[in-house]
Each structure stands twice: as structure tokens, then as C-alpha cells.
Amino acid sequence: MDLSRRGFLAGSAGAATLLGLSACTSVHSNSGTTDATVKASGSTGAKSSLGPQTGQLTFAFWGGSTGETAGFNYVKQKFEAANPGAKITLKVVPYDGFFAGIDRGIQAGNAPDIFRVDYTTMGKYSSAGALMDLTQYFSSSDIDAFLPALWDAIKYQNIPFGVPHQTDCTAIVYDKDAFASAGITSVPDSLANAWSWDEFSQVATKLRSALPASKFPFAYDWTKAGAYRWLSFLYQAGGSLLTPDLKKSALPSAAGTKALDFTKSFFTNKWVPASNTIKGAKYSDEFFLGKTVPMTFIGDFLVPEIADPKSGYKGNWGVTFMPKDTAAATDLGGNAIVANKATKNPDLAAAFLKFIVSEDSMKYFCEQAIELPTLKSLASSSLSYATAPDAVKVFAQQATTLSQTITTETSVPAFSKINTLLQDQLELAFNGQATAKTLQAIADGVNTSIGS
């Protein structure tokens, strides 16, 4: 797999909103982020080789799979062994509400020293000046070890504010027997022959007629903060969310209309359960596990859950690619690990961050959690995944459909606000709001939050 791509234009992300004094009265609560202008602390790599550290750190992450927990525990133990006198306290927090808790902690001054943050939310914290600047801890050779697109995803105004820990992307998991009994004989086995939208629609139609009214052909993983995954359809249709200079919304567009009409038809055709909306309580993997759907779109980090011999999927399952239209696309999933600017032990925090993304730690983590690495050295070697290695191959191939546009747009500072907006507007659209109105509302909201 090859994730390497030219780094995108430095400094183009997150144009700061210039709020002149005279403009004060036109400021509203929902208008663009008042970005802190940041200046690098120290010179690049000044502290790139740290000796053993002592002290205490809390590291908060949301409860993922058992594989992830095992991966983080491994890092903790190894790090503590390498740094006698250092103690890392792991705090597992439920995903729902994780960032609300971090926000309150940052305001109250008791946030964890280290926490996990996805690339889509990263910009919110880096642009608010809440994260520790890592400039002096990474030499240029350290930086070169990462896939450039992902190193860029953790930068704000060209300063690194975290380490790219892993990536994941969405593909399709399906029940082979259900497909057979619905008369679907062939399933794409390579990116090149992934379903077109039309072929995908035929598959869904076949499933629909083969299934009882209480079951549905598939579920999509756009629940709650997954709303941005709707953009995969926009990219597949050849559209984009923002203009190339990232300063304005590129919606409404023909591609936007096409993508939204297509996804709205999932509901009108009863292809997805009525409660598989953005604000539904169930995630797409749960519909699949509960056998409400024989096919679901999920991120690779959920493969261990599906493959779990005890509580996993009861049935014969396989993995295939996202459908494609004029282009193939998936979403940039995955997480960075960042340090809180207010941490009392910056050197220790930096040492721990570096340790998390060292080759051995990352390899173990990704193998356990079925996720994709961010180091060039690991990307080119093949990892020995703990579960379902064949499934991971599909995800790894699917990850090559992450275009530069997708990576850059997903990591603009305002993206978490845009994601909230997408949640609200897509929910309305799936409940009947007109396509044109929705696209316009998204565009207006995007422009407001980018601050143009």
C-alpha cells in the first residue's frame, strides 16, 4: 500500500480570521474560530533526543476494541520499563462525550496530559492553542519517517501539535450466505472492479426484495460524529467540500446534488434501517451484528469486534470495497495523539508521544487493533495482523483511495464545526429537507465557520 503523497501546501490550512475592532459588532457565537496565531517554540529538533524521563502522566483515550486497549497497555508497560520513575495512568473514557469531557477539563485546568484525538477534530484544539507545540522534539529525520500526508494532518500553521498514530478508513463487510441467497454471485475482489453506484444500487435492490420488511440491505457509518463520512459519496461523485484554496465552500455543485440525492434514496428505497440516520442511537456495526442488515459500511478498527469468536458476527462474512462513481474514495479515519499544553511535564509528555509512534509500539498496536500505520517503514512492510488478515488487505487497498483533497479538507481547523453542521443538515435532509436547501445551508455554515 502506498499512502505517501506530497504534503499539501504549508500554511494553507486554517486561514486565521482577522477580526478588526470595527467588525466587533458583526461577530456572532457561530462565526469563525478566533484562531490563536501560533509561533513555534524552539528550533526544530532541539530536544529530539531525550534521555530517560521521570514523573506522572495521564493518558485518556476512548474505549475502543480490546485490541486497542491491549496496544495502549503494551506501550505503557514498555515505556515505564524504559523510563524507571515514570508512571503513565491510562484513562478509558466512552467515545460518546469524550471531547466534551476534554473541553471541560481544558477550561477547568484538569484535562489529561495526553489524549487521543481524531484528525477531523484535531484542528479545533490546535487552532485554539490548547495543545503542546512539538517542534523542538522532532528532528527533520524524525519527521521524514512519517507518511507526509499524515504528518501534515497534525500540523497547524506549519507547527506540529501531535503525532499521527494510525489511520483507518471505511469499506464494506457483508454476509456471504445472505448474498448468495439473494442471488448476488460476484463481489468485487480488487479496487479496479469495485461496484459502480449503479451496480451497488442493483445489489441493494436485490437484497431489498430478498429480505423481510424488518430487515434492510445495508447500514452506513455516518452516525453522530461519523457524519463527515457522507463526504465519501461527494468525493466519489467528483465533488469536494471546499475550494482548492480551502477558503470557501465548493457546495452547492452538481456532484453535491448527485451525492445527496443518492444517499437520500437509501431511506426512500428502504435500503437502510429508518434509524440509521445521523442522529440515530445505533452505529452501523451494531445493525450488522444484530443481523438487521447483511451488509454494512465500517472502519477497519471494528474488524476485531466483528471477528471476535465469542461476541462477534455469527455467520460467514467477507470484506469488499466502497462503491465508486467518477472516482473511488473513502474517509480519512484514524487518530493523532496529542499533549495538553498545560501539562506539568512537557519533556515526559513528548517522550511518551515519541514512544507511542516508535516503530515497535506502532507495529504492535496496529496488529492488535487492525488499523493502518503512519510510518513509512511499516507501511511498506506488511504487518502480521492478529485477526482477519485478509480483511485488512482490503482496507489497506481502500486506503489508497484517500486523495490529497480528502486529507487536506478533513484536517482544516474548522472541520469539527463543519462536522457538527453536517450532522444537523444531513439529518434534516434524510428526513425530507430538499437537496438544494440542504446543500446551501451546508455551504453557508461552512463559510461562516471558516470565517470567510
Partner 1 sequence: MATTMLASTSPRSDRVMRKRARGRFYWLRFALALVIALVMLFPLYWMLLTAVSTKADLYRSGLHLWPAHFTLDNFRDPIRNFPVTRWFRNSLVIAVLVTVITVLVNLLAGFAFAKLNFRGKNPIFLLLLSTMMIPIQAIMVAQFKLVVKLNMFGSIWAVILPSSASVFGIFLARQFFIAIPDELLEAARCDGAGIFRTFRSIVLPLCRPLVAVLTLMTFMYEWNDFTWPLIVFFSDNQKFTVPIGLVTDIKGQYTTNYGAIMAMSLLMALPMVVLFVAFQKYFVQGLARSGIK
Partner 2 sequence: MSSSPSLVTELPAEALQGSAGLRPRRRRAVTSRGHGPTAGAFLLPNLVLVAVFLLLPLVWAFWLSMQKIGSLGPSQFLGINNYVDIIRDSVFWEALWNTALFTLLTVPVGMAVGLGMAILLNGVLPGRKLIRSIIFLPLVISGVSSGLIGAWMFDQYSGFVNNFLHALGINGPDWQSNGKWAMVSLVLVTLWIRVGFDMIIYLAGLQGVDPEYHDAAMVDGASAWQRFRAITLPLLGPSTFFLLIMNLIYSFQVFDTVYAMTNGGPNYSTTTLVTYAYKVGFDEHGSGELGYAAAIGVVIYLITLVITALNWRLSRNRDLAS
- The one of partner 2, partner 1, none whose footprint includes residue 186, by CB under 5 to 8 A per kind, is none
Q: Does 51 bind partner 1 (CB under 8 A)?
A: no
Closest distance to partner 1 from the beta carbon of 224 (Å) = 11
Quick check: 222 and 229 in contact, CB under 8 A? Answer: yes
Q: Does 124 bind partner 2 (CB under 8 A)?
A: yes
Binding mask 97-126 for partner 1 (x = CB under 8 A): xx-xxx-xx-xxxxx---------------
- The one of partner 1, partner 2, none whose footprint includes residue 125, by CB under 5 to 8 A per kind, is partner 2
- Residues that bind partner 2 (rule: CB under 8 A) add up to a total of 41
Distance of alpha carbon 135 from alpha carbon 295, whole angstroms = 44
Q: Which of 51, 94, 309, 432 binds partner 1 (CB under 8 A)?
A: 94
- The one of partner 1, partner 2, none whose footprint includes residue 277, by CB under 5 to 8 A per kind, is partner 2
DSSP 53: -
User: Taking CB under 8 A as the criterion, which residues in 283-322 touch partner 1?
Assistant: 283, 286, 290
Q: Does 97 bind partner 2 (CB under 8 A)?
A: yes
Q: Does 95 bind partner 1 (CB under 8 A)?
A: yes
Is the bond leading into 252 cis (omega within 30 degrees of zero)? yes
Could you tell me the sign of the dihedral formed by the alpha carbons of 439, 418, 12, 395, in that order?
Answer: negative
- Residues that bind partner 1 (rule: CB under 8 A) add up to a total of 24
Q: Does 28 bind partner 2 (CB under 8 A)?
A: yes
Distance of alpha carbon 38 from alpha carbon 25, whole angstroms = 25
With respect to partner 1, which residue has the nearer C-beta, 96 or 360? 96
CA atoms within 13 A on the CB side of 49: 1
DSSP string, 156-178: ETTEE-SEEEEEE-EEEEEEHHH
Q: Which of 61, 79, 99, 200 binds partner 2 (CB under 8 A)?
A: 99
Distance of alpha carbon 409 from alpha carbon 346, whole angstroms = 30
Closest distance to partner 1 from the beta carbon of 153 (Å) = 25
Q: Which of 25, 37, 186, 311 binds partner 2 (CB under 8 A)?
A: 25
Strand order in the sheet with 333-339: 86-93, 55-62, 114-118, 333-339, 163-168
Distance of alpha carbon 149 from alpha carbon 164, whole angstroms = 10
Binding mask 123-162 for partner 1 (x = CB under 8 A): ----------------------------------------
* 266 closest CA partner among 239, 302, 230: 230
Binding mask 406-435 for partner 2 (x = CB under 8 A): -----------x--x--xx--xx--x----
Distance of alpha carbon 75 from alpha carbon 361, whole angstroms = 6
DSSP 312: S
DSSP string, 353-391: HHHHTSHHHHHHHHHHHT-B--BHHHHHSPP--SS-HHH
Query: At 302, is the secondary structure helix, strand, or coil?
Result: helix
Give the binding site for partner 2 (CB under 8 A): 19, 24-25, 27-31, 33-34, 36, 96-100, 103-104, 106-107, 124-125, 128, 130, 214, 224-225, 274-275, 277, 279-281, 292, 417, 420, 423-424, 427-428, 431
Give the binding site for partner 1 (CB under 8 A): 60, 63, 91, 93-98, 100-102, 104-105, 107-111, 281-283, 286, 290
